[in-house]
């Protein structure tokens, strides 16, 4: 199966991912405590899950990106042993039906 993404779609995905990254990093900094992470993820994504085995919060945003198109952006915030932010990752998800 050959899948092609138009330049318009790629630009939209990149733009939306950068927007979400900027919003999250404006609220969450390295060394922040769990409570701040949870508040930020509620504001940015509307909710989150927490994987206690990986000490990592995750959230997904699904936004429109033009007529009939959606962009999924994944966020991971990892917590260290002291309960503080040790890493923040934001990246696009490419899903095809």
Q: What is the pLDDT along the chain (97 residues), one digit of tens a residue?
A: 444 455 556 788 888 899 999 999 999 999 999 999 999 999 999 999 999 999 999 999 988 776 667 789 999 999 999 999 999 999 998 765 4
State how far the Cα of 80 lies from the Cα of 93, in Å rounded to an integer.
25
Q: What is residue 1's predicted lDDT score, i.e. its pLDDT?
A: 41
Q: What is residue 51's predicted lDDT score, i.e. its pLDDT?
A: 97
Of 96, 93, 62, 58, the residue nearest 76 (C-alpha) = 58
Q: What is residue 23's predicted lDDT score, i.e. its pLDDT?
A: 95
């Amino acid at each position: 199966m050959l899948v092609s993404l138009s330049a318009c779609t790629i630009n939209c995905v990149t733009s939306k991912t950068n927007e979400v990254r900027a919003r999250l990093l404006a609220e969450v900094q390295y060394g922040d405590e769990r409570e701040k992470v949870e508040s930020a993820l509620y504001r940015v994504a509307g909710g989150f899950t927490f994987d206690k085995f990986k000490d990592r919060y995750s959230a997904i945003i699904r936004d429109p990106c033009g007529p009939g198109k959606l962009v999924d952006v994944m966020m991971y915030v990892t917590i260290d042993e002291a309960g503080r932010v040790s890493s923040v990752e934001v990246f696009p998800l490419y899903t095809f039906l």
